[in-house]
Amino acid sequence: MKSLTDQLTTYASYHRDRRNIATHFIGIPMILYAVVILLSRPLWLAESPLAVSPALFASIAASLYYLRLDIRFGLLMTLILAIMVRFASPIAAESTTNWLSWGVGLFVVGWIFQSIGHIWEGKKPAFLDDVIGLIIGPLFVVSEVVFALGARAELLTAIESKVGKTRMGQQK
């Protein structure tokens, strides 16, 4: 298994344009939440404090992967996924039309944002070369927030030493 630094470096190599990264701050959370919503059916034990669904199992599996990569980021990703699962359950309990409208709508709009960003970047999405990019994308967005807050500077330095700093617009 690749290290956290290796995974984020590979993903970052497809994302050096700040406009593309900005679209990921919108698109990736929308897509992730859409997937959680869509996986929130069937919903078992809906009346209990812990509703059980495929979304719960997928989130646990993803959380274990993130925790294996890095404890601090793993805990943060686990919290984010838990919040998404919690708020997706009521949507899944609504009518099929509402559930699908939210899930599919967020998914499509999220991918529109992603596509615009990659057009600006001039590069294809990372997952087209390695499907693991689908699970690293949310971690990349969280890491960018953490870096912007001034934390994990050593990790940011390690990534930028391999792929360079971000830029505004296309390089000439």
Q: How confident is the model at residue 14 (pLDDT cuts 50, 70, 90)?
A: confident
Q: What is the mean pLDDT of residues 70-88?
A: 96
Whether residue 111 is predicted with pLDDT greater than 50 in this model: the reply is: yes
Q: Is the peptide bond before 42 cis (omega within 30 degrees of 0)?
A: yes
Q: What long-range pairs does 158-161 form, CB within 8 A, spacing at least 24?
A: 158/5, 158/9, 159/5, 159/8, 159/9, 159/12
Dist. CA 9–CA 70, nearest whole Å: 14
**Exposure class string for 69-92: b at 16+ Cβ within 10 A, else e:** bbeebbebbbebbeebbeebbebb
pLDDT at 124: 80
Dist. CA 99–CA 161, nearest whole Å: 44
Whether residue 171 is predicted with pLDDT greater than 70 in this model: the reply is: no
Residue 30: count of CB within 10 angstroms of its CB: 19
Q: What is the pLDDT of residues 25-70, one digit of tens each?
A: 999 999 999 999 999 998 776 666 667 899 999 999 999 999 999 9
